[in-house]
Amino acid sequence: MIKKNSHLVIVVLVLLVLVSGCYYDHANLSYPQQNSTTATCNLTSVTYSSSVTGILKANCYSCHSGSAAAGGGVQLDTYATLKVYAANGQLLNSISHTGSVPAMPLNAAQISSCDISTVQKWINNGTPNN
């Protein structure tokens, strides 16, 4: 009787490990770009079209789309205009709250360290239009 139950416990434990393993695998596959909400920061496939614009869309486009006055005329919603601020250092300085540029997003909490690392990685990669 005792022996039978211990086998059952082992089977249940193995199943739990397998099921939780699958759960995490699927989470990573389903939400590869949601770095800020997952425990790990995945910087292996940073792209302009998905990773960078995703972060800026959520935190910056409200003021920095087109030449909107809300963003002081600073336009960050096209590759060409964003590249200017990536190249002169103001993009990274503004989000990491370093240097002499105003801290961004203006009057809001700093974006996550993973989001900052993602933008930094894109800049370090040479700001590819990928």
Instruction: Kindly tell me which of 43 and 61 has the beta carbon lying closer to ligand HEC.
Output: 61
Query: Which among 18-26, 34-42, 43-51, 59-67 is the span making contact with ligand HEC, rule CB under 6 A?
Result: 59-67
Q: How far apart are CA 29 and CA 32, in angstroms?
A: 6
CA dist 30 and 113 (Å) reads: 22
Binding segment for ligand HEC (CB under 6 A), chosen from 7-15, 22-30, 104-112, 122-130, is: 104-112
Tell me the number of residues near ligand HEC by CB under 6 A: 21
90 near ligand HEC, rule: CB under 6 A: yes
**What are the helix and strand counts (H, E) for the chain?**
6, 0
Cis status of the peptide bond prior to 102, with omega within 30 of 0? no
Taking residue 35's Cβ as centre, other Cβ atoms within 10 Å add up to 21
89 binds ligand HEC (CB under 6 A): no
Chain centre distance of CA 128:
17
Rounded to a whole number of angstroms, the minimum distance from the CB of residue 4 to ligand HEC is 59
Note whether 106 binds ligand HEC by CB under 6 A.
yes
Contact 102, 108 (CB under 8 A): no
Per CB under 6 A, residues contacting ligand HEC are 59-60, 62-64, 70-72, 74, 85, 90-91, 94-95, 101-102, 104-107, 111
